Amino acid sequence: MSPNIVLRCPTCRTLVTKDDEYFPFCSDRCRLIDLGKWASGEYRISSPILDPEVLEGLSEEQRRPNDDDEDSGAH
């Protein structure tokens, strides 16, 4: 017999067991509230950018304002 897993609903903090229908949420309402937070951008997963093409594009964008500042100072 496996131990009964008990967690708190991430939305309302109610105790929930792994056998509950909406686990890890206590209800469909709490599940939808959480989904809405992901969809609206309230929740984000942050990780380092490892794609070399994206990193190259970022470094070019960071250089642009400095180039513009130098050009405007020369006028």
Q: What is the CATH number of domain 6-74?
A: 3.30.50.10
Residue 56: its pLDDT value, please?
Answer: 75
d(CA 22, CA 24): 6
Residue 52: its pLDDT value, please?
Answer: 76
For the chain, the farthest-separated pair of C-alpha atoms sits apart, in whole angstroms, at 79
Strand partners, 7: 16
Burial (0-12, 13-18, 19+ Cβ within 10 Å), 46: exposed
Residue 43: its pLDDT value, please?
Answer: 83
Question: For every one of its 75 residues, what pLDDT tens digit does the chain have, with 9 covering 90 and above?
Answer: 567 889 999 999 999 999 999 999 999 999 999 999 999 988 887 777 677 777 776 666 665 555 455 555 555
- Give domain limits for the chain: 6-74
Residue 45: its pLDDT value, please?
Answer: 77
